[in-house]
Chains A and B, each alone.
Chain A
Amino acid sequence: MGPHADSLVLVGLDLASGNELWRTEVAGGMVSLPQFAPDGSQFYVTVRDVDVDSPNFGGGPMHQGDAPSANQLMSTMVVAIGRDGVIRWSLDLASGGAGMGGGQ
């Protein structure tokens, strides 16, 4: 399998000793490198979760006009994680393709 992942495991390491400080699992595949807050108190990672079992995807041919868009098959979340590895908050971006006509 390629790099697509169902879960992302973040491992905090002490750079001086190499010791593992914490380990946190986030659902979804990573789509951005972690971005750190200016004061280093927390960082943010964007993850995308694909709902491969979605009934919208269907098992047979689909009419193009009735087909779901990729945005309906996946969720995109921004997750904020503290230096202690604890998830502070997450935000579902729920991108809907504004202006593109019905999510396309």
Chain B
Amino acid sequence: MTRRLLILAVLFVAGASTVAVAAVPGHLEGYLPTVAKANGRFGSVWTTDVWIYQQGASTIHLWFNPADQDNTDASSVVVTLDQPVTVLTDVVGSTFGADGVGSVHYLADGPVVVTSRTWTTADPAGSFGQTIPGVPLEDAAVPDTGQAGALRMLVDQLDGFRTNLGVTNVSRVPATVAVDIFTADGDPAPGSSSFTLELPPFGMTQVNDLLNRLDSGVREGLIVRVGVTSAEGAITAYTSTVDNATNDASYQQGSRFSY
């Protein structure tokens, strides 16, 4: 293996110190929270393309985890990373020989940055798509981290748009997940704004048209909060808001206030 050195200068001056260089590594393990080779609503047909940028990795294992099932026994597809960027067009169909909606779990032997585009054809031509970055495993929400450790996404309830919520269990144990929707002023949103999801190991689910659970109306700045309530488990979450007229989609990764 080629030996690589990173040289960092540490500067000293009377009583003070500073540094000159920083390094930001990729990560070894993570998830694409949603991938697809599937028909959607309003005539959409979703496909996912993936880019893997390696920074010292030579091999990556990829698991396709179809939605709403235990994927413990899934077998990996091993991809050799023989150049800086490897492109997997239509990853669900071409790499895994599958179809449907799910997530992709990846584990590399060196740092990687993974990103993807999930897109649908447009009428009469072209496409609409959303960029979905790979989420490092360490960014997942875990139990016992309190309110600040739960994942948040901000969405609007508007006519002509639908918001889908995706939650991915990135652990090898079942996870119970609480979902709560709040108005912009922090009160529970009117309607069925709180519910629970049960996710099997390595399972993901997508709750379509999430805001249909609320009383009808127009509400801006809704807070979608997702947290693990079981003793074990770890999750990532996202929202995808889609224009019903065009199927133009925008993606939002759940984030938390503390770790």
Binding site for B on A (CB under 8 A): 1-16, 21, 25, 29-31, 33-34, 36, 40, 43, 48, 50, 52, 57, 59-65, 67-70, 73-74, 83, 97-102, 104
Sample of 9 more A-B contacts, CB < 8 Å, known A7-B4, A64-B76, A104-B234: A5-B5, A8-B6, A12-B10, A29-B111, A40-B15, A57-B59, A65-B202, A67-B61, A68-B107
What residues on A are CB-neighbors of B6 within 8 Å? 3, 5, 7-9, 29-30
For the complex, what is the distance from the CA of A5 to the CA of B55, rounded to whole Å? 9
Tell me whether A15 and B3 are in contact in the complex, defined as CB-CB below 8 angstroms, given that A31-B25, A50-B28, A65-B201 are known contacts: no
- Residue among B9, B25, B76 making CB contact with A13, cutoff 8 Å: B9
- Of the listed stretches B115-123, B165-173, B187-195, B250-258, chain A binds B165-173
Tell me whether A15 and B12 are in contact in the complex, defined as CB-CB below 8 angstroms, given that A2-B111, A67-B61, A101-B172 are known contacts: yes
Write the chain B residue with the least CB distance to A29.
B25
- Residue among A6, A10, A50 making CB contact with B8, cutoff 8 Å: A10
Rank and list the top 4 A-B pairs by shortest CB-CB distance, nearest first: A2-B55, A4-B56, A101-B173, A5-B6
Whether B158 sits at the interface, judged by CB under 8 Å, is: no
For the complex, what is the distance from the CA of A9 to the CA of B20, rounded to whole Å? 13
Kindly provide the distance from the CB of A26 to the nearest chain B CB, expressed in whole angstroms.
10
What residues on A are CB-neighbors of B7 within 8 Å? 8-9, 11
Whether B125 sits at the interface, judged by CB under 8 Å, is: no
Tell me whether A16 and B17 are in contact in the complex, defined as CB-CB below 8 angstroms, given that A4-B55, A62-B61, A65-B201 are known contacts: no
Interface residues in B, total, Cβ within 8 A = 64
Interface string of B95-134 (1 = CB under 8 A from A): 0000000000101011100000000000000000000000
Write the chain A residue with the least CB distance to B56.
A4
Q: Do residues A13 and B233 form an inter-chain contact, with CB atoms below 8 A?
A: no
Name which of A5, A7, A8, A83 has the most chain B CB atoms within 10 A of its CB: A5
For the complex, what is the distance from the CA of A102 to the CA of B232, rounded to whole Å? 9
Kindly provide the distance from the CB of A59 to the nearest chain B CB, expressed in whole angstroms.
8
Q: Do residues A3 and B76 form an inter-chain contact, with CB atoms below 8 A?
A: no
Q: Do residues B137 and A70 form an inter-chain contact, with CB atoms below 8 A?
A: yes
What residues on B are CB-neighbors of A29 within 8 Å? 6, 23, 25, 111
Q: Do residues B11 and A2 form an inter-chain contact, with CB atoms below 8 A?
A: no
Q: Do residues A100 and B5 form an inter-chain contact, with CB atoms below 8 A?
A: no
What residues on B are CB-neighbors of A64 within 8 Å? 63, 65, 71-76, 105, 172, 202
What residues on B are CB-neighbors of A14 within 8 Å? 12-13
Kindly provide the distance from the CB of B204 to the nearest chain A CB, expressed in whole angstroms.
13
Q: Do residues B76 and A50 form an inter-chain contact, with CB atoms below 8 A?
A: no
Give 18 CB contacts A-B under 8 Å.
A1-B2, A1-B4, A9-B5, A11-B10, A14-B12, A33-B19, A40-B15, A43-B17, A50-B110, A52-B110, A64-B63, A67-B61, A67-B107, A70-B27, A70-B29, A97-B234, A104-B137, A104-B173
